[in-house]
Amino acid sequence: MEASAGLSRIGLAGLAVMGQNLALNIAEKGFPISVYNRTTSKVDETIERAKSEGDLPLTGHYSPRDFVLSLQKPRSVIILVKAGTPVDQTISTLSEYLEPGDTIIDGGNEWYENTERRIQETEQKGILYLGMGVSGGEEGARNGPSMMPGGSEQAYKNIEDIVKKVAAQVEDGPCVTYIGEGGSGNFVKMVHNGIEYGDMQLISEAYDVLKNVGGLGNDELARIFDEWNHGELESFLVEITADIFKVKDDLSEGELVDKILDKTGMKGTGKWTVQQAAELSVAAPTIAASLDCRFLSGLKEERENAEAILKEAGMVDQVGPVRSGIDKKRLIDDVRQALYASKICSYAQGMNLLRAKSIEKGWGLDLGEMARIWKGGCIIRAKFLDRIKQAYQRNPQLASLVVDPEFAKEMVQRQAAWRRVVGLAVQAGISTPGMCASLAYFDTYRRARLPANLVQAQRDLFGAHTYERVDRPGAFHTEWTKLAKKSNFK
């Protein structure tokens, strides 16, 4: 694409933390960029940062018209504003000056159906559109995120040279790929966030068990998570968890982690993931359990009252007696194995959700490629994503990661440790909903025969819903109550 004298290669509107950092990343990779924000001080701030961070090729603009006209054709504009109405308002403002063939890329965490609506709306004006999930937080945006663009393939081709340089780089390429049509990019980012919820919950449960059942202090926890980050659990989240335990509180004694209120915030993508799983009849119990835990964490006062009332009712501390007979070294190793096996189940659920949606929408998602672009730059980046990529390369039709021969072996090897951890936690009265949900998912999925036959009999009795038999084809209905009365059963 030929550069026109003085014109920028790409534009970015919306200069909050993510927008500023992504703009500077693009400029640093050698692509002249124009930036715009409704609040002019943000434009000034970004220009200052561009100067101080290496005299980067970035120009600031104070009106949408000047901003759009500063871009070489066909123009490409990334918008990074709050999801929902602000995106529509920004599109409307910029569209006045954009021409057919130009591209808008929404880099926010948008609901995928909003992106599909916008694709149709902008198409009427001849404008191309991408919904691009960007993961990695502010550090990723500045130094190399994982990016998930979906929508117009031509729009992707217009910016492919830029995003491939700007994305995180791993040994098998940049952490970006054209995801597919419609809102597929946003959907993949949403599921990434759902997996992230599961990951964070499982790590917090590992911490809870080691701290309260194992009696480990923050210094030991920091060392253990550091060690884990050099093995099969090597990942961004395990790495930052080790760092968190090392930080002293500068306002009082001890470590900062112990002073943080136990109420979790959320932005909504985890909830969307669980809702979509339910809509598509895909079991995602680990992700759902992590969401439930965030809801329960918000009930701080209720939980404090419950603790007092149940103590009054005779509830005694279960942790002490369980801890007295603990082999610390074995517990640490068991928790490592339980965390790994639980994570495989959580990722399996996310991948199955992506596949189900891809089939419903005809997106043709390449699950191995999804795992590959998550290997760097994003929050769930982890060593074992490479193995997930390989599992789907071996068998693109893989029903679940649990039945990939490599992962199946590992699950079997780790299940005894996994059961010991969950059993100990239950005995000690320490809730491990994520690990329990993962184990229940594994145990349900691996059984050829489930008690669902009884549920079907119940449904047929009260609602004449019929049932199938294992020994002959067809649908059957039985007058259960009449026959039960006639039976000679004592």
Is 61 annotated as contributing to ligand binding? no
CB atoms within 10 A of CB 427: 13
Q: Which of 29, 189, 271, 343 is catalytic?
A: 189
Is 37 annotated as contributing to ligand binding? yes
Is 382 annotated as contributing to ligand binding? no
Is 114 annotated as contributing to ligand binding? no
Contact call for residues 129 and 123 (beta carbons, < 8 A):
yes
Burial label, 480 (beta-carbon count in 10 A; 0-12, 13-18, 19+)? middle
CA angle 81, 87, 89 (to 5 degrees): 115
Is 19 annotated as contributing to ligand binding? yes
Is 197 annotated as contributing to ligand binding? yes
Would residue 189 show up in a list of annotated catalytic residues for this protein?
yes
Is 283 annotated as contributing to ligand binding? no
Is 267 annotated as contributing to ligand binding? yes
Is 14 annotated as contributing to ligand binding? yes
Is 15 annotated as contributing to ligand binding? yes
Instruction: Kindly give the residue spans of alpha helices, DSSP state H, lying in 78-183.
Output: 85-95, 112-123, 137-143, 153-166
Is 17 annotated as contributing to ligand binding? yes
CA 71/CA 455 separation, integer angstroms: 63
Is 36 annotated as contributing to ligand binding? no
Residues 6+ apart with CB under 8 A from 107: 18, 19, 22, 78, 79, 80, 132, 133, 134
Is 34 annotated as contributing to ligand binding? no
Is 16 annotated as contributing to ligand binding? yes
Is 83 annotated as contributing to ligand binding? yes
CA angle 445, 179, 17 (to 5 degrees): 105
Is 453 annotated as contributing to ligand binding? no
Contact call for residues 203 and 264 (beta carbons, < 8 A):
no
Taking the CA atoms of the chain, what radius of gyration do you get in angstroms? 26
Matching residue, tokens 């340089």: 165
Largest CA distance in the chain: 95
Q: Which of 120, 256, 261, 133 is nearest to 194 (CA)?
A: 133
Is 288 annotated as contributing to ligand binding? no
| Residue 486 amino acid letter | K
Kindly state the helix (H) or strand (E) to which residue 105 belongs, with its residue range.
strand 103-106
Would residue 53 show up in a list of annotated catalytic residues for this protein?
no
Q: Which of 110, 196, 205, 255 is catalytic?
A: 196
Known binding residues for substrate are 109, 135-137, 192-193, 197, 267, 294, 459, 465
Kindly list the catalytic residues.
189, 196
**Which positions make up the binding site?**
14-19, 37-39, 81-83, 109, 135-137, 192-193, 197, 267, 294, 459, 465
In the annotated binding site for NADP(+), the residues are 14-19, 37-39, 81-83, 109
